[in-house]
Amino acid sequence: MIVHIENVLDKDQLARCREAMQRAAWVDGRVTAGHQSRQVKNNLQLPEGGAEHQELGVMILRALHRSPLFISAALPHTVFPPLFNRYESGMGFGLHVDNAIRQSADGGVRIRTDISATLFLSDPDEYDGGELIIEDTYGNHSVKLPAGDLIVYPADSRHEVAPITRGGRVASFFWIQSLIPDKTRRSILFELDAAIIQLTRDVPGNPALVSLTATYHNLLRQWSEV
């Protein structure tokens, strides 16, 4: 399930991100890569634990928890502290799969990666190339979103970032351990929640909404790992 979530960050928050990143000291992005990913990864990254990383990470985590669509799609148990990368001309990240387990540099957070997420911090007209390409059973999906928009997708998906041919691309990336580890069940709950929201708008007060809401929460109760 690939979900596009619009306007996670507003213009003021994006401006703050740009300001902080302009003064930051970037390092080789392979610092967080696994053995296989290290061979195909070519980008820059903000060091974990730095002032900019911590400030912007807190901003993003707060924004995520204010997003009903993110909560519905991810059903988050734990969100990994957001990381930040930069791709300049000639840089890219070849086809890879994210590690199943991620641990923060300070050891304070350790999660199973059920969902991967990329929050775009550069607008599409600022660079050529740089598309996030996600593989699934229906083929390849090329993703290049406005600044402030988020894409979430199953962490077991093979994916890549196409090489940059002009300009630069800055983004935040992170992972989510969901209350619902099984992606099929997570998709069912997402679709059921969306249907309940739509019916609430279209036929408010319909008695069937109580039954549907009860079904949603009973499935969540049965399937969740807390």
What SS3 class is residue 207? coil
The CATH fold of domain 183-223: DNA Excision Repair, Uvrb; Chain A (4.10.860)
- What residues are designated binding site for Fe cation? 96, 98, 159
- What residues are designated binding site for 2-oxoglutarate? 169
The token duo for 62 is 């707060």
β-partners of residue 44 are 28, 86
Give residue 172's identity as a one-letter amino acid code: S
Residue 117 is predicted with a pLDDT of 98
- Residue 57 Cα to chain centre, angstroms: 13
Residue 39 is predicted with a pLDDT of 77
Alpha-carbon distance of 185 to 221, in angstroms, equals 12
- Residue 54 Cα to chain centre, angstroms: 17
Alpha-carbon distance of 128 to 106, in angstroms, equals 35
Alpha-carbon distance of 96 to 56, in angstroms, equals 26
The token duo for 184 is 């099929």
- Can you identify the CATH homologous superfamily of domain 3-178? q2cbj1_9rhob like domain (2.60.120.620)
pTM of the complete model: 0.93
The token duo for 20 is 């902080």
Q: 166 with 127: CB under 8 angstroms?
A: yes
Q: 20 with 56: CB under 8 angstroms?
A: yes
Residue 33 is predicted with a pLDDT of 61
Residue 32 is predicted with a pLDDT of 66
Domain ranges for the chain: 3-178, 183-223
User: Could you give the dihedral angle defined by the CA atoms of residues 148, 149, 154 and 160, in that order, rounded to the nearest 10 degrees?
Assistant: -80
- What residues are designated binding site? 96, 98, 159, 169
- Residue whose C-alpha is closest to residue 16's, from 173, 172, 124: 172
Strands (E), 144-190: 150-154, 159-161, 164-167, 169-178
CB burial class (10 A; 0-12, 13-18, 19+) of residue 163?
Answer: middle
pLDDT tens for the chain, 226 residues: list them: 999 999 999 999 999 999 998 888 898 877 766 666 667 888 999 988 888 899 999 999 999 999 999 999 999 999 999 999 999 999 999 999 999 999 988 888 899 999 999 999 999 999 999 999 999 888 899 999 999 999 999 999 999 999 999 999 999 999 999 999 999 999 999 999 999 999 999 999 899 999 999 999 999 999 999 8
- Residue whose C-alpha is closest to residue 108's, from 78, 130, 144: 78
